[in-house]
Structure 1
Amino acid sequence: MLTEIEKKVIAAIQGDIPLEANPYEILAEGLGMEEEAFLGILKSLDEKKLIRRYGATLRHQKSGFSANAMVAWKAPEEKIQEIGETMAGFEAVSHCYRRDPKPGWPYNLYTMVHARSQDSCRDIVGQMAQKTGLSDYSMLFSIRELKKTSMRYFETE
């Protein structure tokens, strides 16, 4: 069972993080608490496995990246960890994850590549293929963004 202050901390980190030198201090002040206590609650929630991950959403089109592609790769299962780490190391890659292949769709590794143009995406994917030795892949370019939100818990009034 979560305490009321834990719920408030969770609600506070769901929104935009202040673009300041000490964003957690600002979030903590908004709850009438010290930054150290705020961070302590976050750490406790993590240790209890109540927070699985904490991330940021990049609004890639607003930041100048007008092209992006989900690339589905067919990677040898025994090398997927190594290949995934190599691909995740590319600056243009925001997501890299493994999925089970399905009948008619043999791909098991996925990367999200962001660039300023589709040609740039293709160039980056070519570099990734060359560096990893993978040649079986499919590029799926985004046409338009339909949703860019996350689950929200314990909304504030």
Structure 2
Amino acid sequence: MNEFETDIDMIIMRELQQDFPLVSEPYAEIARRIGCTVTEVLERLKHLQASGSLKRIGAVLKHRKAGFEANGLFVCLVPEEQINEAGRMLAAYKEVSHCYHRSPCHDWPYNLYAMIHGIRKNDVLAIAEQFTREQRVQVYEILFSTEELKKTSFSL
């Protein structure tokens, strides 16, 4: 487990866990809030990323509030030698928010997963059908969400 080298690292990480400033220079706003320079914030972020303490900075989309009422977890079985190419193809759809490879289990054979978002259920089904037809996928399911739960991340 990586440890933070300075107190400022911990302060910056806690600041990043808050709502990101919606201003033209968000890192300058973060620097102002914590009492250091924007250069120092950016250098500390580079160091945290290089050390493995910070993986990425990303947005959390509340799909239903954005108008995407149909959200389905698409799971399928793809031959392992084709998994990388199939994953790239699936992830390229603009309706896919994330796509990943998992090892199958004895009672759950799927190895490729993706969240597909649409305004209507048929939008999600159409993407799944197009992908399975193009990739000749025979074994798949779509698990539709019924509600959006509170999204949280690990907090320091």
Q: TM-score, normalised by structure 1?
A: 0.92
3-state secondary structure, aligned to 1:6: helix
What's 2:20 paired with?
17
Q: What is the letter of the counterpart of residue 11 of structure 1?
A: R
Measure how far apart 1:141 and its partner are.
0.1
What's 1:106 paired with?
109
Residues 60-118 of structure 1, C-alpha deviations (whole Å, 9 max, x = no match)? 11111111000111011011111101111110001101111111211001000011011
Q: Give identity over the alignment, percent.
A: 38
Distance 1:133 1:26 in 2: 49
Q: What is the letter of the counterpart of residue 42 of structure 1?
A: L
**Residue 147 of structure 2 is aligned to residue 136 of structure 1:** no
Q: What is the letter of the counterpart of residue 89 of structure 2?
A: T
Aligned residue pair count: 153
1:1-157 matches, cutoff 5 A: 1-2=3-4, 3-153=6-156
Distance 2:102 2:56 in 1: 19
Q: TM-score, normalised by structure 2?
A: 0.93
Distance 2:37 2:98 in 1: 34
Distance 2:110 2:136 in 1: 15
Distance 1:144 1:90 in 2: 23
Q: What is the letter of the counterpart of residue 127 of structure 2?
A: I
Gaps of 5+ in 1: none
Distance 2:131 2:28 in 1: 40
Gaps of 5+ in 2: none
Measure how far apart 1:26 and its partner are.
1.1
Measure how far apart 1:34 and its partner are.
1.7
3-state secondary structure, aligned to 1:96: strand
Distance 2:37 2:13 in 1: 16
Measure how far apart 1:17 and its partner are.
1.0
Measure how far apart 1:132 and its partner are.
2.3
CA RMSD of aligned residues (A): 1.2
Measure how far apart 1:27 and its partner are.
1.3
